Structure 1
């Protein structure tokens, strides 16, 4: 019943009709001996190289990959029944934890999972495969270096400064539609004393709201937005590597670290193959592929390397705060808490008309 209530709550805040995600089948290079169905929130263009490398090691495996937002991964699993995917790979840590907590996950133990830090796996059912700093992204041509905020307090001051002229030129996730955005916003409220003030300042500046990271970064890169708050660092770095005029800030007060998590559903038809793919992702080779082709930072490092989160250049950053897998993520999935949080968020970030509809 709890899962059904959450599913209804997510549906109520999602668009009326979600478009199906991109689905691609990667044929087995040799005679097909195994199949694997993955639902993932990582862009298929980036993840294709990882699948191709796995097939080099396992040429008899055919892989079907569905590119979905985290919210849809959760919802489709609950609706799929016996036609569930074999592996769910999602940036929605809280939703993955909810599935495990409600008995939807198979336990998986292997030498690969045994090496995971305690904060990156839960009950041998939900596993972090990478960590991802949550950052501020800005357009270098629009925001002078002297004005770039390096803490939330500096960001708040910038948003409140009329001379900055940021009205309509800042962006963030629409937390009513984005499960990742919702998770990050609720974490801010638990960690940061100025989360409410920052939320109000975003609203005062008519923040542009998007469901996914890509459109936000596209707008910043084109100069339509000067900066975006609380976005996935890997996507921003990929655009920088391609020449976009973007800069990345890891906030010095604290930088949230999101785990991209994998879970094998209890209804998986090919659970053994899913376990092999998960072990591949956690192997040195798989971690290197995720870093090289997806831009996801390794959750596991070689002997002698520091095991805590690091910046992209490998240095330790004290401000990094990994969001630990576990029951703490379930707090804001409670129906009443979710409704109260979204009502407060809409009243500040997304002002309402008298009829209750959002002001564009």
Structure 2
């Protein structure tokens, strides 16, 4: 029954919210007295249930959600087009871009009973807040990739990429880090903590890795069997597909599993800042955290809300909020990293 309900939800959401970049209006459920505009890189099929639950508590609030990739959230804030509406809240797993907005003075501080109980690692300067955490995973097609060959570590993935029969040639995908904010974050973190990051990138390039800017597109291609495996993707999205019956498996690498935070920022230009504060407090409340876990399949920050992981967890390596995330946003370092990444993943044929 749970799987059937998950399938129905994904189908309905897929019909209502067709494409990235869509703007979805959630009308007030009674006389309207407040409005909230959110820009988020979280897919609407994931986040819609959260907004609807918030409106059960606040039926007079109209919510407008704009599904935008992380780089565009950052860029649109700094360079708004003429007449472009201004967001009240920015939600993204691109912790580095959110941190840079805060560091550069673009965020409002917020303190409340809900923010005060957050772990220290889940907020910075009371201006950027983690609302969920995101293990970064390997996702594979359970019908197309033999279980005995599924890599459990990065070294095993490297060995599979180098296998003589080349099972992943043209069949492996990851984020296009030039367009994907989370992809860039994960790739730079791998480069700092992973001893074989360079070799792995070269092997991906040698196997004609397919690059996408959206998690959903990667998962679609793996589900259809166009790709056998996708590397460094958000595991919560894959879990939602699995709950709906997709032929996917998730590996949280046993050497280390990066853990990102999905973060919320209230920009200084927010036209409805009080409503944004109220929505943030909802997201961090026990009820909001439970909805994030139960309905959106996201891992809540508060342990009391209950995550989806079992008792046996891989070696999680959380990505900490703070100024350390700004290193690879330096223009020179970013250009150098992208040049090296491009040379590895897109070698001359």
Query: Quick check: TM above 0.5?
Result: yes
Residue 110 of structure 2 corresponds to 108
Deviations 1:106-165 (A, max 9, x none): 000011111111111100000000001100011112221111111101111111112242
Residue 76 of structure 1 corresponds to 76
SS at match of 1:234: helix
Deviations 1:34-62 (A, max 9, x none): 11111011112322211111111111111
Residue 26 of structure 2 corresponds to 26
Residue 261 of structure 1 corresponds to 263
Shift of 1:91: 1.4
Residue 245 of structure 2 corresponds to 243
Work out whether 1:58 is the aligned partner of 2:58: yes
Residue 280 of structure 2 corresponds to 278
Residue 345 of structure 2 corresponds to 349
Distance across 2 between alignment mates of 1:240 and 1:327: 36
Structure 1 residues 165, 316: closer, same or farther in 2, change over 3 A? Answer: closer
Work out whether 1:96 is the aligned partner of 2:98: yes
- Select between 256-265 and 20-29 the one with higher mean Cα deviation: 20-29
Work out whether 1:39 is the aligned partner of 2:39: yes
- Select between 139-148 and 102-111 the one with higher mean Cα deviation: 139-148
Shift of 1:294: 1.6
Could you list the runs of 5+ residues in structure 2 that have no partner in the other structure?
1-18
Judge conservation of contact 1:136–1:230 (CA < 8 Å) in 2.
Answer: yes
Residue 207 of structure 2 corresponds to 205
Residue 14 of structure 1 corresponds to none
Distance across 2 between alignment mates of 1:297 and 1:165: 32
Judge conservation of contact 1:84–1:265 (CA < 8 Å) in 2.
Answer: no
Q: Tell me the TM-score normalized by structure 2.
A: 0.91
Shift of 1:20: 7.9
Distance across 2 between alignment mates of 1:299 and 1:318: 18
Shift of 1:218: 1.0
SS at match of 1:88: strand
Equivalenced residues, count: 329
**Over the residues paired in the alignment, what is the CA RMSD in angstroms?**
1.7
Residue 331 of structure 1 corresponds to 327
Shift of 1:300: 0.7
